Amino acid sequence: MTASIFTVVGVNRRTGPAELRDRLYVEDEAVPALLDRLCAAGMAEAMVLCTCDRVEIWGAGNAADDGAAAFALLAETAGMEPRALLPQRFLETGEAALRHAFAVAASLDSEVIGEPQVLGQVKAAHRLARDAGRVGPHLEPILQAAYQAAKRVRNETAIGQRPVSLAAAACQLARDVQGDLSRCRALLIGAGDMGEFLMQQLLASGLGGAVVIARTARRAEALARRLGSHYALLEELPDRLAEADIVVACQGEGRYMLSADMVEGALRRRRRRPVFLVDLAVPGDIEPAVNRLEDAFLYDLDELEQVALQGRAERETAAGAAWAILETELAGFRQRQAEREAVPTLVALRAGFEAARQAVLAELPPDDPARPALERATQLLVNRLLHRPMAELRRMAVTGPGAAEEQVVAEALLRRLFLDVPADDTPDDTKDEE
C-alpha cells in the first residue's frame, strides 16, 4: 500500500501580502466544491484553513506533486494564474508539514503568539471538511495529535496569557482615556485575529458599539456578523474615523492606513474629543507621528506589553517551552504512526507462522500423548523465531525518516520469504531425506 503524504500548501503571512491572502480567501460555502476538485485531482483527504494570517490547504494524498495541483486549484478558484503566484507559495510535505500544522494549532505561527482564536479556526475548518466527507484515516489522526499538542502548550506554558494580558491592558487604557465604555464607539480596521479578540474583550467590557472596516466588504461583513456589530467600506474610513472614540488597527499590509494628517482631521471634526488608538499590526498601520497629536493616545504591541508587565525574556521562555512540547508530541505521533503502519506485516507474519505450526500439529494423531508438550514447544519456538524480525521491524518503524527505505525493503523481503508463497511451491521434505 502506498504511504499517504501529508501536505500543506497555500499563502501565509510569511510568503504573501495580506491583499493576496484576501483574494485567495475561500468562503465557507465555497469550500465543499473546492474539496471535491481536490479529491478529483488526487488529494482525497483535505481541508481549507482561512484566517487573517493564512489561506492554506492541509491534505493527504499519494502523489508527491499533490501540493502543486492543490495550489493551482486554490489559485484558479480565486480567478488567478497559479504560475504567477509561485513566488508567494508556501509548500511543505511530510515532517515539515506536520511541524507546521502542530505550530499553527498551538498558535506558535501567529503574528501575536498565543492568539486564542487560531485553534478554533483550525477546528472549524476540520468540521467543514469532515461534513463534506473529506477527512479520513490519514488526516484525522494528524489533526487530533495537533489538538493534543495545542492543549498541552496552552495548559503547561504561559503562551496563552499574552493575548489575554494585552487585551486586558488595552481595555484598561481605553477606560483611562475615555471613562465609561458604554458611551464609546470603536472602529476596527482589518480582519486580524488579535484585532477581533481585542474587540470581543472591549464589547464584553461594555463598549457601546463598533464598526468594522476591512480590505474587502465580504471580510468586513463576516467579521461584523461574528462581533454583532456593523461594517463599512474602506472608502468610508475618514467619516468612520471621526465617529470613533477607540480605534483598533490590524490590517498589516505594510503601509500606514492612518496618517497623522488623517487623525488630525478626525480630531478637528470631533472638536478635539480624545481618541484612543491601538496598533496591533506588524508592520504598523498607524503613523507613529500620531502620538505627537494632542488628544490622540496611540499604543502599539510593545507598549501594551510593557503595560501588561510581560517582557521579551518571559515571552521567549514561554515560546521555548511550547516548542519543546511540540517536538515531544511530534515524536510521539511519528512513533504511533510508524508502529501502526508496521502492524499489518507483523500480524501477517505471526499468522503465517501460526498456520504452519498448526499444519504440523495436524499431522499428529489426536490422542498422541506427546501432543500437549509439542503444542507448548512449537509455540515457544515460533515466538523465539519471530522475536528478532518483529523487534527489528518495530525499531525501523520508530527510528525516523532515515530508516523508511530499510523498513520497506525488510517488509517486502519477509513477505516474499514467508507469506507470499504460491500453493504449488510447498517445500518437498523428501528431498532433504534423499
Q: How many CA atoms lie within 13 A of 422 on its CB side?
A: 2
Element (H, E) at 241: helix 237-243
Query: Catalytic: 52?
Result: yes
Instruction: Return d(Cα 122, Cα 58) in angstroms, integer.
Output: 10
252 in Cβ contact with 192 (< 8 Å): yes
Nearest to 303 by CA among 311, 313, 315: 311
Instruction: Return d(Cα 219, Cα 25) in angstroms, integer.
Output: 9
Q: Which residue has the cell 509548500?
A: 91
- Cα distances from 433 to residues 362, 428, 429, in angstroms, run 21, 10, 7
* Alpha carbon 354 to its chain's center: 44
Catalytic residue among 52, 171, 184, 250: 52
Strand partners, 112: none
Torsion of CA 26, 27, 31, 33, to 10 degrees: -90
Classified as helix, coil or strand, 434 is coil
What positions carry a catalytic annotation? Answer: 52
